[in-house]
Structure 1
Amino acid sequence: MTSSTHLPADLTDRWHQAAERLGASAPADTPLHSGMGGRTLSGPVVTTDGLSAWLRLMVAPKPEGKIWEGAALADALLGDAISRPVILAEHTWHEDGAAFQANLWTRLRGEILSPTPDLSAPAPVDEQWWRDIRACVDEVRTSADPSGRGVMTQAYIDRIPRFIPALEGADLTVSRWEAAHGDLHWANLTRDPLEIIDWEGWGAAPAGYDAAVLLAYALPAPDTAAKVREMFGDMLNTEHGRLAQLVICAEIIQASERDDVHARLKPHAERLADEILALQ
């Protein structure tokens, strides 16, 4: 993919332009949230009929690829039993050699559980929330993911001994792939009620991967990590689930060189990997 340095640096004007084209508006000083390496810009809007909504603008070199297609495919192919925001409208266009995609979403009804993907304290959720997240994960994993769409590849998994050297020479072949959200951490979850956001990267993943991600990012909060293990033990305590945990541990260790979140998660991921390897 073309480097993001070739893409527009400031999306603010285009965000407001997209709002107008989608029949929505926002004050000029509306706080906007940048994400994905500066390639997305999001913020609240109000539609012409007075509905409070959320507008997300993404820029890419071309109108193609997993991230570009993911949200619309999730909206079209995943069942209503999976609690998540719904796309109200979409607008795409080309300008200055780049492609722009604007999605207008229903506003979140609940409160985001964590400002970062990891937890620094126990998740403030009740038993119903745990039953709901389990039901959503089950609904996703039994869904048919679009052909050729994956959260990761077998080739990547074959390389994870670079980050967990004890796996050198091990057979890391994934024998069961299932549909997964792919980024089921605590900044992508709400409470009162539960909603799951950011479906751009969903697709096929090793069985148990969503449960493994949820566990890995809960490790700094032992009580919540224990609850994840309780609710998803039938997924995690299997050959497939243990491989999924090793995969997310390797991803965290790899990412620890790039950002503070994964740097502080790295020792937790290393301990989890050691625990899993001790069982083999």
Structure 2
Amino acid sequence: MFPVPAPEIVDRMRSAYAHARTLLGLAADEKPRVWGYAGRTLSGPTGDTWLRMASAPPGNGTGKLWEGPAASRALPEDVRRPRLLDLADYEKDGWEYRAELYVRSTDPVISASPVLSATPTLPEDWWGGLRTSLTALSSVPTGRIAVREEYVGRAVPQFTGHAVDTIEWTTAHGDLHWANLTGPTMLLMDWEGWGTAPVGYDAACLLLHSLHVPDMAARVRAEFNDVLGTQESRVGQLVACAELLQAAPRVPFYAELAGAVRAHLETLDPTGT
């Protein structure tokens, strides 16, 4: 999903990934090939399983992103996601690592990039599966936080120029885009950041990542009109816009999307009334 990082990160992560295979009793299989942002994670197939490894500097192997996938085990079955089979924590060369072993999806992610560039062929029940999953997730009580209230109050005015008043909260996936969805069988991938977020945040994230493909953006709007068409979703949409605009200077595919995000902002009521 993200570019291959600097050579010294590649060497360290591949060495740690090989160690993870040993800890989990996995034979060497296909090489890992999926990099996370700035080389923080590395993932790849291991036969009929999938190994994902996260890294952190010393003393930082904890917190929301570290614990999210393990905590997602307790979510309802209606929330369609890969099954986590095993995990292992370890230290190597002064870094902390968590290796997570999943049942390997038989279907690929819909897009290699979070931002959609072409219309995928998806069956009708794919949309139903996504809606069912997000609806079931929204009612899950949790102390986890996907979007902090302090961030909303600071970033939304700074990056969108809109004011924020009342916030309605729900439980969200927290990183809903096309590189975290499989098809034609729908699974929600990457459960690092799930937790509470403003109503409409997940649907808004998927919509914004669809804006380069107008027919898919229209489909997302139609499927989630009961959420995105409400005043309660305004803050969730503003937060999703603020995050992408904040990331645009350092992430090329968000820089290319920024104009469309600003155009979407113009459709939202700036007063919140």
Q: Report the Cα distance in structure 2 between the residues aligned to 1:202 and 1:110, rounded to whole angstroms.
A: 22
The residue number in structure 2 matching 1:36 is 37
Provide TM-score, normalisation by structure 1. Answer: 0.88
The residue number in structure 1 matching 2:188 is 196
Alignment partner of 1:19 is 2:21 = yes
Match of 2:64 among 41, 47, 66: 66
| Structure 1: runs of 5+ lacking an equivalent | 47-51
Are the structure 2 counterparts of residues 278 and 98 from structure 1 closer, same or farther at C-alpha, using a change threshold of 3 Å? closer
Contact 1:174/1:206 (<8 A) preserved = no
Contact 1:154/1:174 (<8 A) preserved = no
Contact 1:88/1:104 (<8 A) preserved = yes
Shift of 1:33: 2.3
Contact 1:26/1:44 (<8 A) preserved = no
The residue number in structure 2 matching 1:155 is 150
Moved more, 220-229 or 92-101: 92-101
Alignment partner of 1:82 is 2:79 = yes
Is the partner of 2:268 in helix, strand or coil? helix
Shift of 1:220: 1.2
Alignment partner of 1:275 is 2:267 = yes
Q: Report the Cα distance in structure 1 between the residues aligned to 2:251 and 2:167, rounded to whole angstroms.
A: 32
The residue number in structure 2 matching 1:95 is 92
Are the structure 2 counterparts of residues 233 and 193 from structure 1 closer, same or farther at C-alpha, using a change threshold of 3 Å? same
Contact 1:90/1:102 (<8 A) preserved = yes
Alignment partner of 1:122 is 2:98 = no
Letter in 2 for 1:59: S
Paired-residue identity, %: 37
Q: Report the Cα distance in structure 1 between the residues aligned to 2:226 and 2:216, rounded to whole angstroms.
A: 17
> How large is the RMSD of aligned CA atoms in angstroms?
2.1
Q: Report the Cα distance in structure 1 between the residues aligned to 2:99 and 2:153, rounded to whole angstroms.
A: 36
Letter in 2 for 1:41: L
Letter in 1 for 2:229: N
Match of 2:53 among 40, 53, 57: 57
Is the partner of 2:100 in helix, strand or coil? strand
The residue number in structure 1 matching 2:140 is 143
Deviations 1:95-134 (A, max 9, x none): 3332111111110121211111111122321221111111
Q: Report the Cα distance in structure 2 between the residues aligned to 1:69 and 1:173, rounded to whole angstroms.
A: 31
Q: Report the Cα distance in structure 1 between the residues aligned to 2:119 and 2:34, rounded to whole angstroms.
A: 26
Contact 1:42/1:55 (<8 A) preserved = yes
Match of 2:172 among 169, 175, 180: 180
Shift of 1:258: 0.8
Alignment partner of 1:256 is 2:248 = yes
Contact 1:7/1:60 (<8 A) preserved = no
Are the structure 2 counterparts of residues 92 and 174 from structure 1 closer, same or farther at C-alpha, using a change threshold of 3 Å? farther
Provide TM-score, normalisation by structure 2. Answer: 0.90
Contact 1:43/1:54 (<8 A) preserved = yes
Matches within 5 A, 1:104-123: 104-123=101-120
Deviations 1:41-75 (A, max 9, x none): 111113xxxxx111111111232111110000012
Q: Report the Cα distance in structure 1 between the residues aligned to 2:166 and 2:97, rounded to whole angstroms.
A: 35
Runs of 4+ in 1 over 6 A off after TM superposition: 5-8
Alignment partner of 1:225 is 2:223 = no
Is the partner of 2:50 in helix, strand or coil? strand
Shift of 1:267: 0.8
Instruction: Give the length in aligned residue pairs.
Output: 264
Q: Report the Cα distance in structure 2 between the residues aligned to 1:215 and 1:128, rounded to whole angstroms.
A: 19
Is the partner of 1:43 in helix, strand or coil? strand
